[in-house]
Chains A and B, each alone.
Chain A
Amino acid sequence: MRAESYGARLLTAADRLLYSAVRHGEAQLSRPPSRGVRGFGVPCERARKAIGSEMALYWQVALRGFRRYATYRAATFAGVFTNTIFGFLRAYVMIALYAGRGSIGGFDLRDTLTYTFVTQGMLMVVYIWNWWEIALTIRSGDIVTDFARPLNYQLYWLAQDVGRATYHAIFRGIPPFVIGAVVFSLRLPAHPWTWLFFLLSMYLAVAVSFAFRFMLNLSAFWLFDYRGIGSIAAAVWTFLSGFAVPIALFPGTLQTVARALPFAAFVNTPVEIFLEKQQGWALLGALAYQLGWALALLAAGRLALSAAERKVVVQGG
């Protein structure tokens, strides 16, 4: 019963009108209009329309990415619970670490605790571990249904992932942070603009992490056991993204290297922006660093995809 009303609730008014018309319609199989009559109009106008309809498509895909996860409320609740518990665990380790010290690497205890809870909130937004949705379709062969469609496969999944990340930001990100903020009196941004930059940086983090996850998933085309490199990647990301320990706390050379590698763009950059550690040009630089890696890695993913399409061995049937 709940499931039935669920779909109806999500439909827009226009959709509902359309479907009610459908339900009372009469079944007639009229022949499709003949092809080739489309394509009137000024080329420029046509191009604008084409771009508009592409945007509409990926917007619709993103919406569905959001809704897919919204279906599983119990999982969301369990996830929030776990993320919060681990947030407390990490927080108490940090409190013990800071006993008797004022600040480490420019981070005082309050910064570090805030860092801890923002990262706990971002954990699912950038989906740092074990995202295998594409690999599973490669393994089962179901990927053929997506390949058989007239769309950009990478953009299609990116749009879905942006929808998913938005859901996770709201329902998996905010609750642990709010609980942490109440218990540990975390630091909130002083400038209202910081929220906006943080949001921007968070979506760039999603793009970078997606670009990585996309390639990692595509490895299933070549590797029968893709989870092996997946666990290596998870270990590298956990450390070099600054999830486990803020990159500001890394020793000299390692810190320089970590800041140049793309992994810090997943977690460390948005959190530093949230803590207002990056200001002015440094802030723009941090966003440019994320954007640069996002574009480069998406381009690499695109190459990987066309290589995969050329060699594709669709498994099973």
Chain B
Amino acid sequence: MAIVEVEDLRKTFSVTRPRTGARGPLALLLRERREVRAVDGVSFRIEPGEMVGYIGPNGAGKSTTIKMLTGILVPSGGLVRVAGLEPSRRRVELARRIGIVFGQRTQLWWDLPLCDSFDLLRYIYKVPAERFRANLAAYVELLELGPLLDTPVRQLSLGQRMRGDLTAALLHDPEVLYLDEPTIGLDVVVKERIRSFLAQLNRERGVTVLLTTHDMDDIERLCSRMIVIDHGRLIYDGSLEAMKDRFGGERVLVIDLEEAAPPVEVPGTRVVKVDGPRQWLRFRRADTTAAEVVAAVAARARLRDLTIEEPEIEDIVRRIYSGAAAPIDTH
């Protein structure tokens, strides 16, 4: 049974703003209400133990969805169920079973030592002492928080704080973990540490994870499945590989020839750029393999060097967002 079920989910905000063209002292009174559809008919299901990337450009409706999944926001329409509960009606009950990290916010007590925040969570979530101790020991060691436990949160660096927030979200053994941009603003080393931690968490504890991010490396490293939304609508739901095939199945072979030559003609490829002895040949996974292309090129010209460029997932996503990514069959 799916642990997260979302069906035709909608959230409309009404925003007031001065009526267009209204000027002068009465302008404030002449306001018009406008409906903004933040989430507009999204459906998906997540099975226990899955790790799903939820991506979309700024303002796509990602955070709004997560807030509805936690019960903080009441949906305007559609259906949400998390761990069998309807979040907005049973928010408190659900809160005991989920964990949340908002990358741009902290749930730690700013003025107090880190351990003070952790200790309070034991009371908030009524975690049995034994279990709390075991969890804290494990997370403190995995995230290397030991030396920081007595440091006030306001003195922690962003990366340290984020590790603290992750621990705080996990001490009560949540079944589902929502991560809203958990790697935002972090350096490469910290990002990597957090990623490997999340992978381990998912592998060893079977925690279901829904992750929003703008960092495609997070997705590539962690998520076998991704859900893409834009303007509140779902535009892709499937594996990373399938997405590459569908939206970005084109790879590029870069060849360095012995000397400048006219564009090499190989069936199933297209020369997209020539720069002296260097040429760029674009081809589709579906049409031919890299080995075939290389063999064909070698038969026609004297090769000195070659590299294959895989489609960058960021490029694919960028193209999907900008509406330019037509599936390959329309090329």
Distance A150 CA – B134 CA, assembled complex (angstroms)? 22
- Minimum Cβ distance to chain B for residue A107 (Å): 40
B67 in the interface (beta carbon within 8 A): yes
Asked whether B123 lies within 8 Å of A57 as measured between CB atoms, the reply is: yes
B162-174 vs A, Cβ < 8 Å mask (1 yes, 0 no): 0000000000010
B44 in the interface (beta carbon within 8 A): no
Task: State which of B140-148, B272-280, B320-328 sits at the interface with chain A.
Answer: B140-148
- Minimum Cβ distance to chain A for residue B132 (Å): 8
A193 in the interface (beta carbon within 8 A): no
Beyond A25-B138, A144-B67, A148-B95, whether A6 also contacts B150 by CB under 8 A is yes
Asked whether A29 lies within 8 Å of B104 as measured between CB atoms, the reply is: no
Q: Which of A1-60 contact B (CB under 8 A)?
A: 3-8, 10-11, 15, 18-19, 21-23, 25-33, 35, 53, 56-57, 60
Which residues of chain A are near B140, meaning CB under 8 Å? 22-23, 25
The contact of B206 among A26, A31, A150, by CB within 8 Å, is: A31
Distance A6 CA – B155 CA, assembled complex (angstroms)? 13
B93-107 vs A, Cβ < 8 Å mask (1 yes, 0 no): 101110010101111
B75-90 vs A, Cβ < 8 Å mask (1 yes, 0 no): 0000000000000000
Distance A184 CA – B152 CA, assembled complex (angstroms)? 41
B120 in the interface (beta carbon within 8 A): yes
Distance A5 CA – B152 CA, assembled complex (angstroms)? 11
A189 in the interface (beta carbon within 8 A): no
The contact of A149 among B95, B150, B201, by CB within 8 Å, is: B95
Beyond A6-B113, A23-B140, A148-B100, whether A64 also contacts B120 by CB under 8 A is yes
- Minimum Cβ distance to chain B for residue A78 (Å): 17
The contact of A313 among B13, B152, B200, B201, by CB within 8 Å, is: B13
The contact of B205 among A7, A31, A310, by CB within 8 Å, is: A31
B116 in the interface (beta carbon within 8 A): yes
A312 in the interface (beta carbon within 8 A): yes
Asked whether B133 lies within 8 Å of A18 as measured between CB atoms, the reply is: yes
Nearest residue in B to A153 (C-beta to C-beta)? Answer: B92
Asked whether A53 lies within 8 Å of B123 as measured between CB atoms, the reply is: yes
Distance A29 CA – B135 CA, assembled complex (angstroms)? 7
A192-215 vs B, Cβ < 8 Å mask (1 yes, 0 no): 000000000000000000000000
Asked whether A317 lies within 8 Å of B63 as measured between CB atoms, the reply is: yes
Which residues of chain B are near A10, meaning CB under 8 Å? 113, 116
Q: Is the interface of A mostly helix, strand, loop or mixed?
A: helix
Nearest residue in A to B152 (C-beta to C-beta)? Answer: A3
Asked whether A27 lies within 8 Å of B142 as measured between CB atoms, the reply is: yes
Asked whether A314 lies within 8 Å of B73 as measured between CB atoms, the reply is: yes
Nearest residue in B to A314 (C-beta to C-beta)? Answer: B67
Asked whether A67 lies within 8 Å of B116 as measured between CB atoms, the reply is: yes
Which residues of chain A are near B173, meaning CB under 8 Å? 32
A128 in the interface (beta carbon within 8 A): no
Which residues of chain B are near A72, meaning CB under 8 Å? 111
A68 in the interface (beta carbon within 8 A): yes
The contact of A312 among B72, B111, B180, by CB within 8 Å, is: B72
Distance A25 CA – B201 CA, assembled complex (angstroms)? 18
B219 in the interface (beta carbon within 8 A): no
Asked whether B149 lies within 8 Å of A151 as measured between CB atoms, the reply is: no
Beyond A3-B151, A32-B173, A150-B92, whether A317 also contacts B112 by CB under 8 A is no
Distance A266 CA – B196 CA, assembled complex (angstroms)? 54
- Minimum Cβ distance to chain B for residue A164 (Å): 11
Distance A72 CA – B110 CA, assembled complex (angstroms)? 12
A256 in the interface (beta carbon within 8 A): no
Which residues of chain B are near A148, meaning CB under 8 Å? 70, 72, 95, 100, 107
- Minimum Cβ distance to chain B for residue A19 (Å): 6
B125 in the interface (beta carbon within 8 A): yes
Which residues of chain B are near A33, meaning CB under 8 Å? 131
A89-120 vs B, Cβ < 8 Å mask (1 yes, 0 no): 00000000000000000000000000000000
Which residues of chain B are near A31, meaning CB under 8 Å? 204-206
A63-99 vs B, Cβ < 8 Å mask (1 yes, 0 no): 0100110011000000000000000000000000000
Distance A83 CA – B97 CA, assembled complex (angstroms)? 47
- Minimum Cβ distance to chain B for residue A142 (Å): 5
Beyond A25-B138, A30-B134, A31-B205, whether A4 also contacts B123 by CB under 8 A is no
Asked whether B150 lies within 8 Å of A5 as measured between CB atoms, the reply is: yes
Nearest residue in A to B138 (C-beta to C-beta)? Answer: A27
Indicate the member of A4, A15, A35 with the most B CB atoms within 10 Å: A4
Distance A53 CA – B107 CA, assembled complex (angstroms)? 21
Asked whether A149 lies within 8 Å of B124 as measured between CB atoms, the reply is: yes
A292 in the interface (beta carbon within 8 A): no
Q: Can you list 7 contacts pairing A with B, beta carbon distance less than 8 Å?
A: A7-B150, A26-B141, A28-B134, A144-B67, A144-B102, A149-B107, A150-B96
Known: A28-B134, A146-B107. 11 other contacts (CB 8 A): A5-B150, A7-B150, A11-B119, A19-B149, A25-B137, A27-B141, A56-B123, A67-B116, A142-B106, A144-B72, A149-B107
